[in-house]
Each structure stands twice: as structure tokens, then as C-alpha cells.
Structure 1
């Protein structure tokens, strides 16, 4: 049911893009606002991968897992393509999703369509889209992510654009680290932002999914989920006798660093004040982003 709903996105725009008489090739075209910042169903065979994509290796097992997820749930996060000609596109981001979709046998894929000279229009369209009242939390998170990555904005600049606190922006972006099934549940409004924020703190993916299913089956409150997550973490703390309770000021610093780097941060400290600071990353590109922030 969810997959069918996702595949229905952008039907009107798809028809517009496939009609030669309404072909949009520039941000100056009259119908450009109908294309920029919106989702269309694009034929997979009309998309070519970016020849300048630095990543060349994709784990086969991970692709198969993603392919199976797409068969069950559809595409949770659309890819982004650049229009290079009539019914011709070049992939900008989302190559794993693109490859997994082909593996799953999809003939079309939901995509954000970009035009070569549409940068300022894209930013305006995204900001306007975020201001809508009917967006779910994942749609908001995806819009924030696109503003940062495609419009080359820092989190501070983006928070200014959308009129939100940086901590609010960070909380939304963290939702994109959740499992696709949970993201789909958020989009279908089967759980709240409060539930999702609690689940993000669970590192074990299987445990994360187990709690999610319990939320749906037993209608757990946000407080109940927070208690479950706290109980999961407490045995780990108790078993580590070489560590002591982390002072509030260190916890606050950890929270600030996690927000600044938009990444999970671990701080370990012993009774003598010695310890370690670990910043986790999801990919080579994510590591490069974090290093750029450190070097500023």
C-alpha cells in the first residue's frame, strides 16, 4: 500500500516532462516553476549516472537489502537528477537508490528534477515548500537536507532561511538516519516526531525496528518509548566500571558537537578526567563534510 502511494508522486509533472510541446529546458522558461523543486516519476532508462561521481564501489549485499526494501516500501527518499535534454537526465544524488531500484525491476523512479540554471529558483522553491503546513517530518527533513547539499548552505544559513532554530533543524535531519521502514511510518503518520526522536538514539537497528513495531502494535506513548530507550542504555553504563558518570557540562558539549557536525558523538571519560571524543560518520563523503567543518 505504501509503495503504491509513493509511486503515485509527481504524476502531473511526469506528463508535463514527457510532452515535447511543453519541454522545459531553462529556469527562465514560463513553466519552470512547475518543474523546479518538485517530484516527478522519471523513466529509469532515461537517467545516466554522473561520470564525475567519485564513488565507484557499492556493496552488493547492501544494495540487495535496499532493493528488497524498495520492493516492499517503494522509494522513501527520491533521487535528484539534472535535466540535460528532452526526456534525458543525469543523476546528481542517490546512486545507491537508483541502482537498487533497477535491481528491484522498477521502470520509473521518483526524482527531484533540476535544470542547469535553476539554483536560485530551487532554493526559493525549497524554502517555500518547507513553510507549508501539511508536510510530514520526513518531507521536512528531506527539504532541509536538499537545501544544505544542493544549495551549498551551512546549517546556520539554512536555519536563517527557514526561520527555525538550529537545534530544530538538527533534530529533523537526524530522522534520516532511521531505518526506511520507520521513515515510511513517519510519512504515513503512524508515529509522532517525539517517538522518532527517541528511536534515533537506539544504535542497534534490530532493536530500533522492534521498538517501532511495539509502538504500532501497543500504541506506546512517547514517554514509554523514551523509558524503553533509557533501559537499553543503562546496562551498558553499569557494566563499564572504568567510566564514571558524565558531568552535565560534558553532556551539553556533546549535544552541541552533535548538532554542529550533524553526526552522532560519543564522549567517554574516566575518574581522572581522561577520555576520548568520537565523531561517527556514515560514508567517505560524510567524513569529508565533517573534516571541512573541523577546518573552518
Structure 2
């Protein structure tokens, strides 16, 4: 108990150091930086802003209240991580649930690790740390991987080193973003597991994919039952269903190029007179902005 008290007192002492204008630490080389950077410091909640790069977009209110109750009884066991923006101003890198829960119960301070990083480093830290959380849904993880590719320009091999996951695991998550947005929403809401999603990826026809998705929900099918249903779908399609009208070769080639470029299944419909329509699905505002950047970059 005495050790804990000493640790908290140290944190308060460092907090006072940070509030001294003569000790405004801006880089790791500044005076007293070694006393602050990487150490646990008690920071005022009002001096911390949320991270705009946070990949998590929703927070379970009931779970947040449970965490707040735990913090009220035991305190914040695991400090949050922040980066220093300017004098006495900080931005969250990780720990937004602990930050929100502490504010919920009226706490004024929170223990924090301080880091000094630029925007790109902060984005990468936030994404990597959040990917390693246990409570992210598969689509949130997939979107975080995609952001590391789009905004940090990491390859799958580099991501494998950063997050400690096999390259094949990363590829499997990224493939989930090719699912119909309705199916992705079902996964985010917990109606489907990643196993269900991986089975449904093998259904290329959007309408059929959604039909099977609805059957999974209605009949509460397991992953194995879903895999068997998809296998039967392919067997039936090959032997019993009439072949659809041949798609022009230029459409087939263009469809694959569109899908590779946008990282999503693009629907192309063409009439007999050669006129057609291209539909690009997106799963969230973040995904929409990603597509918009790709389109602008192609000009």
C-alpha cells in the first residue's frame, strides 16, 4: 500500500512539473523530458482531448457504466496513453474507454503515460494498439488494417511485424471488407462471427449473399452449418441453375480491376445496348472517405 501511495505522489509531482511554463517539454531532448516521457503522470481530464484517429466508433454504454463502477471502487488500474500537443494540452493515443468512464463518475484526473509523437506516429500507435484489443469486432479490426495500408502506407508484411499477427490472418480480415455492407453491419452488431463472414465471402452474387445472411440470422446457423450451406449453394449453382447471360469480356476485366483498386466488390450492370451502371458499396463514413480519396487520387 505504501508503494502505491508513493507512486501516486510521484505522479502528482510530475503533473506539477508539467504545469510549470519554464518546463514546457516539446521533445525527448528537452530538460526534464526523461522524468516525464514514459512515466505515469496524473493529468487533468480537462487537459486531454480525444483522438480523432481512434478506430473505435461505438462504445457499449452498459459496459462503460460497469467500467466506471470498477474505477470508482479500485481506481484506474491501467494508465491511458497520451501524446503532448502543446503546453498543458494532450491527446489520447489509447484508453478512451477508461477516459470516458473516469469522466462519467466525475473524476478530475487520470494516470497517463506521456509520449511525444507527430500525427502519423499517433495514428499508427492508435491503430496498432487498438487492433491488439480483445473487444474490437472483426470489421473494426479490418478497417484499422485498411487504414494502416491507406494512410501509413504499410504493407501486409510490415503490419505483421507491427501487430504480431500472421500475414494470412491480416489478409483474412481485409477480405471481410469485400462483404456486402449489410453483412458487415451484421458482424459489427454481433449477429455474425468472423467465421460466418469468411464463409459468406465465397458467395459473389450480392443478392444470394444477402439471402444466405438472412437465413443464418433466422435459423441461428453455426459456422459449420453456414459453410455447408455455402458449399451446397455452389454445387446447386453449377449443376441445376441456368447460366446467366454472358458478361462482356471488357466488363469482366474492368470489374476485377475496380475491385482490386477499391478493395470492395463493385457491381457493374450493362444492358444490351451497351449502357450500364457501376455501384461501389461502402460500410461506414470512414470507408466512404477512403473511397473518395481513391477516386480523387485517380484524377
TM-score after normalising by structure 2: 0.45
Structure with max Cα Rg: 2
